[in-house]
Amino acid sequence: MWIGGRSLHFKNQEDYKVWADQQEKGAIGGGIFTPQGPEDYVGAIPAIRAVLYFKEGFSDEIREAIAQCFDDYQVYAKDHLTWLWQDEPPKGEKATSAYKDTKPLTDILKSYSQMKAFNLLYTSGKEKFATGAWEFNVGGVSKWQSEMEIYQSNLTFSMPVEWVEENTKLFIELFINCAQRLKANHGYAGYACIISKIRSEKNEPTEAYLSRKLWAMNVGSPFLESDHLLNDIKTVSWLTAINNEWFNKIREEEALNSELPMSWFIGYDYGTGILIQAGNLALSGSDEVDPLPAPYVLLNRILKPLRAERIQTLHRGNYDTEEIPLLKGYRAEAWMKRFDIPESEVLDYFEKLQAEPKLTAQYAFLDRRIDWNNASNLL
């Protein structure tokens, strides 16, 4: 990927290609769509990311749950993680540490009082400010923030697309276990563009560019959006988690076994909610293949009553151009509604669904399927 213009780091497109070939698959140079051109660090990379929203991050129970989630993630990610960032760390903690020198997460969290929020970011970039497909980020609200009931906590983890395609059920199991431990309010998992959190402003345009190429890719910062999603979901995806209270509202209105045919959709119980898997593998919504995948369009139709009416903005930077506009204002609203279709097209999408691969035991836990029209499952 290359755009015209002056680059401070690469003389020409060939130089950039040589650099890119030495990076992780899919890696994109930093600030590639800024006036300065691409810089020689990984600023963005497509991956499969899980996002979970939950009430609080101050209690011993939830902090232990967070540590358990990270322990499970580390089983697969430990050879790839390189740095830990802490936002406003307490006395005795460093803002940035090499991953190999970090203390166990349980010990790190003990250094934060219940009255102090925390934001911890584990990355896999070569440089401190670079990114990679392996990333774990958790933002926990403090006791006073939780009591105000206008804030919520969030946890994300990501893995390379190819890894998830080869280890699909491991990823799903990790998502379910984390949702259960955290008593998740809601969440989702699917394609995402992992951008450098440290240099996010320079790399938001890359995410904006990819969002027009990959319609099913999630856009925006789960951490910065969390307080706008206390009572609503943001989007549907390959995996979509919603709490039992919200799900019961949908179940009472819809005949889910017919609206979400079991050959392509499956529901799992995570204790305080239901996780819906739409299809065997995450779909990107490529504009060259199928920007509106039938599983996501049909799931969106059912869960749309739970969706936030407004998100205000998905990007917060200033590198906003006519060629590559950031998703702010009406563009952010349009992104939220990208899977909406008129009722007159519903049957067309059910027909389109028939061409999608049916769920198999290789990619889904078929023996753990819930009967989501049976109320006894959801009490």
Residue 250, Cβ neighbours under 10 Å: how many?
Answer: 18
Judged against a pLDDT cut of 50, whether residue 190 lies above it is answered with yes
In sequence order, which residues have a C-beta less than 8 Å from that of residue 98 and are 6 or more positions away? 82, 83, 84
d(CA 207, CA 66): 28
Q: What is the pLDDT of residues 97-150, one digit of tens each?
A: 999 999 999 999 999 999 999 999 999 999 999 999 999 999 999 999 999 988
Secondary structure of residue 149 in the 3-state scheme: coil
Give residue 311's pLDDT band: very low, low, confident or very high (50, 70, 90): confident
Backbone phi and psi for residue 305, each to the nearest 5 degrees, phi listed first: -60, -20
Give the residue from 279, 180, 181, 218 showing the smallest Cα distance to 48. Answer: 218
Per-residue pLDDT, 3: 42
Per-residue pLDDT, 378: 54
d(CA 242, CA 261): 19
d(CA 343, CA 306): 18
Alpha helix stretches (DSSP H) within 89-243: 105-110, 143-148, 161-166, 168-182, 200-211, 222-225
Helices 346-353 and 294-303: angle between axes, nearest 10 degrees: 130
Give residue 22's pLDDT band: very low, low, confident or very high (50, 70, 90): low
Give the residue from 148, 143, 137 showing the smallest Cα distance to 178. Answer: 137
Residue 38 near residue 7, CB atoms below 8 Å: yes
Q: What is the pLDDT of residues 321-356, one digit of tens each?
A: 888 899 999 999 999 999 999 999 999 999 999 999
The arithmetic mean of pLDDT across residues 59-85, rounded, is: 97
Q: What is the pLDDT of residues 159-170, one digit of tens each?
A: 999 999 999 999
Give residue 4's pLDDT band: very low, low, confident or very high (50, 70, 90): very low
More confident residue, 228 or 318: 228
Task: Read off the amino acid at residue 291.
Answer: P
More confident residue, 121 or 39: 121
DSSP state of 376: G
Judged against a pLDDT cut of 80, whether residue 19 lies above it is answered with no
d(CA 298, CA 22): 40
Alpha helix stretches (DSSP H) within the chain: 13-21, 60-77, 105-110, 143-148, 161-166, 168-182, 200-211, 222-225, 244-253, 256-259, 294-303, 330-336, 346-353
Judged against a pLDDT cut of 60, whether residue 375 lies above it is answered with no
Q: Considering the entire predicted model, what is its pTM?
A: 0.93
Per-residue pLDDT, 321: 85
The token pair that represents 305 in the structure block: 């009553």
Per-residue pLDDT, 5: 41
The chain-wide mean pLDDT, for the chain, equals 91
Backbone phi and psi for residue 228, each to the nearest 5 degrees, phi listed first: -90, 0
Give the residue from 114, 98, 135, 123 showing the smallest Cα distance to 63. Answer: 114
Per-residue pLDDT, 271: 97
DSSP state of 358: P
More confident residue, 271 or 378: 271
